[in-house]
Amino acid sequence: MHFLQIVWDPVSEGIKLFGDFKIHYYSMMWMLAFILGWYIMKKIYKHENQTEEKLDSLFIYSVLGIMIGARLGHVIFYQPELFKQDFFSIFLPVKFAGGFEFTGFRGLASHGAAIGMILSMYIYNKKILKKSVLWILDRVVVPVALGAIFVRVGNFFNSEMIGKEADASLPWAVIFKHHDNIPRHPGQLYEAFGYVFVFLILWFLYWKTKKSEQTGFLFGLFLVLLMTVRLIVENFKIEQVEGREDWILGMNTGQVLSIPFILIGLYFMFMYKPKSA
């Protein structure tokens, strides 16, 4: 074994509070993502002269939209058998099949989260903001990009979405003891590292340039950058659905689902023209 090789073998999946109830590290990463996101949007809303009441509503719509979208996205794209086998576990942080167990929130797909975010921002804008759905999307993608970093770190804590087998001499190869004893690429951390740059680019363009005034540009750039990172990193991760390693044109499920988002992003960056008032 290479002397720098990392063995990931956490003794606990979370912090036990009482009885069998515990807060999973993955759930804590989501909580941290939303809390930091709220502070970033507070700064943006102050800059845009928007009220704190609208910010509070934005937080609620964001949490519901992203979490429901992420969960449904995972079940529809990766685990559709849950609709028959354990329906209520789709929406609750518990499982019932095979005995009741508090599992925390897990099994969340970024593609579903993106769809949920777009839909929830459409409803939020229509009911609360009353500006333009692209206006809010151009701004909310900044904290969402930051949140994506913490979500992938949470996946690492959970030893899920693990990478393919790596050369034993790779210094940062990780053995996920909950899975097997094979050194693997830490695909979750590759993705988190990529999202750091997505966040920094969006942050810089919002605060240091006038790109936020080009309707749809930051939203489109977010989709292109985020899904390009996903497209690349999927090459280092094992298939999440058995038999879909080479699903369509040599691409796995995550890669296939990323292509439409990249195309939509390019459209909003370079082709979209807002309607005249």
Q: What is the pLDDT along the chain (277 residues), one digit of tens a residue?
A: 444 568 888 766 666 655 565 677 888 898 999 999 999 999 999 999 999 999 999 999 999 999 999 888 888 878 888 888 877 777 776 677 777 766 666 677 888 999 999 999 999 999 999 999 999 999 999 999 999 999 999 889 888 888 999 987 888 999 998 888 899 999 999 999 999 999 999 999 999 999 999 999 999 999 999 999 999 999 998 876 666 666 677 788 888 889 999 999 999 999 998 876 4
Predicted pLDDT at 46: 96
pLDDT tens column, 166-223: 987 888 999 998 888 899 999 999 999 999 999 999 999 999 999 999 999 999 999 9
CB-based contact 200:126 (threshold 8 Å): no
Count of other CB atoms within 10 angstroms of residue 34: 16
pLDDT of residue 19: 59
CA distance 157 to 30: 12
pLDDT of 15 reads: 64
pLDDT at residue 2, rounded to an integer: 45
Q: What is the largest CA-CA distance in the chain?
A: 65
| pLDDT tens readout for residues 121-135 | 999 999 999 999 999
pTM, to two decimals: 0.87
Residue 127 to residue 119: CA distance in whole angstroms = 12
pLDDT at 158: 85
Residue 150 CA to residue 57 CA, distance in Å, equals: 23
49 three-class SS: coil
State the burial class of residue 139 (Cβ atoms within 10 Å of its Cβ: 0-12, 13-18, 19+).
Answer: buried
| Residue of 22, 13, 3, 4 lying closest to 177 (CA atoms) | 13
Burial of 245: CB neighbours in 10 Å, binned 0-12, 13-18, 19+: middle
Length of the chain: 277
Tell me the domain boundaries of the chain: 6-270
Encoded amino acid at 21, one letter: F
